[in-house]
Structures are given as structure tokens and as C-alpha cells.
Amino acid sequence: MQNNAVYIFIEVLIALISIPGNILVIWAVKVNKSLRDATFYFIVSLAVADAAVGTLAIPLAIVIYIGPKICFYSCLILICPLLILTESSILALLAIAVDRYLRVKIPIRYKNVMTPKRAGVAIGCCWLISFLVGMTPLFGWNRLREKNYTFNNSCQFERVITMEYMVYFNFFGSYGLQWLGLQPSNYTG
């Protein structure tokens, strides 16, 4: 029981720091015209994702950690926003890394390559991919498809989401793409 209280306290603390901090980032870019370039669009996307993590994903993570007694698909509906928002945060970090890489690799052509419109398209793609990846368990890639699986009505992450999903989408899909995207052969100077 003590571990539960510590975990919940840390999650709430992170949320309480994360929400206003990320709102301040969004506000700073909004009021300061010199911060309105492609790089800061990526930073605002990350701030929106992280503010949403603090506002929605962390409370959902606490609820899921407690493991309420609900049906399988209700549990999936609680878990999917958590997956979407954490994936969007990871992909926003990837977009920032690629943006910074391009800024260093092609400094003279950077402004022509990374226009605000292209940044917007990249951000839209990041959010779309996050949504598709996060909703995948709801459309079938979940523990219910396993043979001899019985759900005990306790909504806990590992009772609903398969380890295969976590490995393929969260590891290879996020970190593997980052590794592939930042290989020197993908960019020519």
C-alpha cells in the first residue's frame, strides 16, 4: 500500500509541474514573434503533447495502476489515450531531433528545406501516427486475441496490452524509427 501512495504521489507531482510548465512554453511562443519558426512549432507540439500527458494520461495511468473492476473494452478505452499521448510526445522529440540535425547538417539550405508548412505537415504526421499506433489495441491487437486468455475484470495495463504490441510499436516504432531516421546515409549535405 505504501508503494501505491509513493507512485501516485510522484505521478501527481509530475503532472502538477508538467502542466503549467508546458503551458508556459506554449504561451511564450504565442506572445514572442521571434519564436515563430519551424523549430518552435515542433517545440509547441511537444509542449501540447506533454501538457496533455499531465492533464489526461497521468490521471489515466493512476486509474489503470489502481486496477478498477471494469470490462475489457472499457479498460482498453482508458488505455488508448495514454498510448496516443505518450507516443505523440516521443514522436515530437524525434521531430525536434531531426529538425536540429538538419539545422546542423545543412545550415545554409535549412530555411528552404524546413519551412513552417513542412513543419506543420511533419507535426500532423506525428499526431496521426500517434493516433493510429495508440488505437491499434482497440482494433484487435490486444490480449483478448490470445488463446485461453481470461480477463478478470481488473483494468491493468499488462492484462490488456500484449508485450508484442509494446515491443513492435513502442520500441521498434518509436526508437527504431529514430535510429533509422538519423543514419548519416539518409541526409546529404
Question: pLDDT value at position 2?
Answer: 75
* pLDDT band with cut points at 50, 70 and 90 for residue 179: low
| Maximum mean pLDDT: which of 23-27, 75-79, 97-101, 109-113 | 23-27
What's the rounded mean pLDDT across residues 109-116?
93
pTM reported for the whole predicted model = 0.85
Question: pLDDT value at position 182?
Answer: 58
- pLDDT digits over 59-82, tens only? 999 999 988 899 888 999 999 999
Question: pLDDT value at position 86?
Answer: 92
- Residues with Cβ within 8 Å of residue 171, at least 6 apart in sequence: none
Q: Contact 41/116 with Cβ under 8 angstroms?
A: yes
> What phi-psi label fits residue 67: left (phi over 0), alpha (psi between -120 and 50 degrees) or beta?
left
Q: Contact 48/27 with Cβ under 8 angstroms?
A: no
Question: pLDDT value at position 44?
Answer: 97
Distance set, CA 26 to CA 21, 29, 135 (Å): 9, 5, 27
Question: pLDDT value at position 164?
Answer: 84
- The closest alpha carbon to 42, from 105, 125, 131, 135, belongs to 125
What whole-number distance in Å separates Cα of residue 111 and Cα of residue 115? 6
> What phi-psi label fits residue 153: left (phi over 0), alpha (psi between -120 and 50 degrees) or beta?
left
What whole-number distance in Å separates Cα of residue 23 and Cα of residue 28? 9
What whole-number distance in Å separates Cα of residue 51 and Cα of residue 16? 10
Q: Contact 157/142 with Cβ under 8 angstroms?
A: no
What whole-number distance in Å separates Cα of residue 44 and Cα of residue 99? 13
Question: pLDDT value at position 177?
Answer: 62
What's the rounded mean pLDDT across residues 76-100?
92
What whole-number distance in Å separates Cα of residue 46 and Cα of residue 93? 7
What's the rounded mean pLDDT across residues 135-163?
84
Q: Which three cell numbers stand for residue 131?
A: 493516433
